[in-house]
Amino acid sequence: KMRAAITGVAGYVPSYVLTNDELATMVDTNDEWITERTGIKERRILKGEEKGTSILGIEATKRLLEKTNTSPEEVDLLICCTVTGDMPFPATANIISAEVGIKNAFSYDLNAACSGFLYGLVTGAQFVQSGTYKKVIVVGADKMSSIVDYQDRTTCILFGDGAGAVMLEPTEGENGIMDFYLRSDGAGEPYLNMPAGGSRKPASHQTVENREHYAKQDGRTVFKFAVTHMAEAAAKVMEENKLTGDDIAFLVPHQANKRIIDATARRMDIGDEKVMLNIQRYGNTTSGTIPLCLVDYENQLKKGDNLILAAFGGGFTWGAVYVKW
Ligand code: ACO
């Protein structure tokens, strides 16, 4: 059976570092609280007028093409997972493709909030497994600073900007995207959303005044949901494939809160040394977290390693993907 394998990873984060101490000058918070409750020490912010998410995605994609020695003309499809597209339309994927010279392809955006990258990975893999395409790029990119309210201490400490990208290609070996479990439940909509700017509540003076163009969440509800469902998804995929904690080389979790990650690792019965972690440096970059982890840990990965990628996010959306490296 043909599978889709991840044959390259690359990432990009902007250079500006927003520390906990700087945030403490903007809202009533402090480094100790943020570190203890979330594990985050700093995050990256894309500065500059009129610079959108595409800038992050373009850099990550350029690096991926270079690293995998791929000419942009060879690429069949580019999927950009994001909730912070440059504009409602056209798709940011189209903008990225044009800028990097991907011409013989189609491209589209996919919105599954923090589970975006997993949804994109599984979607992209289908085109490869079916034998339709040979080179599919999945980008996870978000400029969260564009929808974060820097007057709201319960959200502004969590998020950062960044992007990661992977190349998917066919393999007949024993590696690749082996299995997945993805779910969504729109009943979660009130607990994590951006209320205005869509068709339900188009932008108006009122929506701006009410600060409704920012991401809102009920932190405790989201936390509880995440702790249960991310672990459950990981456990399902492991069970289905008869994997125990010992068989897993790494858990690659969405980086939203260190405490949520720890709970997932415990449920999977794996030690801290098997958990990819960069939340301390980047915070929650939404669709960027998982590919950015793969970039950071790439040197430690060996052929045949079993990885469990797991995420949850707005929607609610959640899931896990089993990848053999
Ligand atoms: N600094 C200092 N104090 C704070 C801060 C802050 N930045 N934020 C909140 N507090 C206060 C609260 O006001 C509260 O005070 P009170 O007890 O006087 O009311 C107290 O700290 C405790 O607040 P909780 O909300 O109970 O704190 P909790 O331990 O739950 O941590 C957090 C809050 C970090 C937001 C947590 O709930 C969380 O991580 N939730 C999940 C959020 C998440 O992952 N969101 C992203 C989803 S992915 C996507 O799709 C975008």
- State whether 237 and 300 are in the same domain: yes
- State whether 131 and 145 are in the same domain: yes
- State whether 72 and 193 are in the same domain: no
Q: Determine the Cα–Cα distance for residues 135 and 76; give it in Å rounded to an integer.
A: 6
Region of 95 on the Ramachandran plot (φ > 0 left; ψ -120 to 50 alpha; else beta): alpha
Query: How close is the Cα of 257 to the center of ligand 1, in Å?
Result: 10
- pTM of the model as a whole: 0.96
Ligand 1: nearest atom to the Cα of 215:
51
- State whether 9 and 143 are in the same domain: yes
- State whether 146 and 184 are in the same domain: no
- State whether 263 and 297 are in the same domain: yes
Output the CA–CA distances (angstroms, integers) from residue 275 to 58, 97, 131, 254, 296, in the order listed.
28, 33, 33, 11, 12
Handedness of CA 184, 187, 192, 195 (dihedral sign): positive
- State whether 165 and 202 are in the same domain: no
Q: Determine the Cα–Cα distance for residues 54 and 92; give it in Å rounded to an integer.
A: 6
Probe residue for ligand 1, chosen from 28, 144, 153, 154 as the CB with the greatest number of ligand atoms within 8 Å: 154
Where residue 244 sits, what CATH number does that domain have?
3.40.47.10
- State whether 35 and 48 are in the same domain: yes
Task: Answer whether 80's CB lies under 8 Å from 57's CB.
Answer: yes
Q: What is the pLDDT of residue 62?
A: 98
DSSP tag of 323: E
Residue 105: other Cβ atoms inside 10 A? 18
What residue owns the CA closest to ligand 1's atom 26? 220
**106-110 and 77-81 strand pairing:** parallel
Q: What b/e readout covers 138-169, taking b as 16+ CB neighbours within 10 angstroms?
A: bbbbbbbbbbbbeeebebbbbbbbbbbbbbbb
Please confirm, yes or no, whether 241 is among the known catalytic residues. Answer: no
pLDDT tens for each residue of the chain, 325 residues long? 899 999 999 999 999 999 999 999 999 999 999 999 999 999 999 998 779 999 999 999 999 999 999 999 999 999 999 999 999 999 999 999 999 999 999 999 999 999 999 999 999 999 999 999 999 999 999 999 999 999 999 999 999 999 999 999 999 899 999 999 999 999 999 999 999 999 999 999 999 999 999 999 999 999 999 999 999 999 999 999 999 999 999 999 999 999 999 999 998 899 999 999 999 999 999 999 999 999 999 999 999 999 999 999 999 999 999 999 9
Q: What is the pLDDT of residue 98?
A: 98
Query: How close is the Cα of 33 to the center of ligand 1, in Å?
Result: 10
Write down which residue in 173, 202, 234 finishes a domain.
173
Write down which residue in 173, 199, 221 finishes a domain.
173
Number of structural domains (the chain) is: 2
Q: Determine the Cα–Cα distance for residues 257 and 110; give it in Å rounded to an integer.
A: 23
For the chain, the straight-line distance linking the first and the last C-alpha, in angstroms and rounded, comes to 17
- State whether 167 and 190 are in the same domain: no
Residue 301 CB burial class (10 angstroms; 0-12, 13-18, ≥19) = middle
Q: How many CA atoms lie within 13 A of 95 on its CB side?
A: 20
- State whether 192 and 130 are in the same domain: no
- State whether 190 and 164 are in the same domain: no
Residue 249: other Cβ atoms inside 10 A? 18
Write down which residue in 123, 157, 173 finishes a domain.
173
Q: Determine the Cα–Cα distance for residues 78 and 23; give it in Å rounded to an integer.
A: 35
**136-143 and 77-81 strand pairing:** parallel
Q: What is the pLDDT of residue 45?
A: 98
Probe residue for ligand 1, chosen from 31, 220, 286 as the CB with the greatest number of ligand atoms within 8 Å: 220
Please confirm, yes or no, whether 254 is among the known catalytic residues. Answer: yes
Largest Cα–Cα distance in the chain? 57
Task: Answer whether 71's CB lies under 8 Å from 42's CB.
Answer: no
Question: Which ranges of the chain does DSSP label H, i.e. alpha helix?
Answer: 20-24, 31-38, 53-67, 92-100, 116-129, 205-209, 219-240, 258-268, 279-282, 289-297
Output the CA–CA distances (angstroms, integers) from residue 9 to 77, 139, 215, 252, 285, in the order listed.
16, 10, 29, 14, 16
Task: Answer whether 96's CB lies under 8 Å from 295's CB.
Answer: no
- Containing structural domain, residue 8: 3-173
- State whether 183 and 166 are in the same domain: no
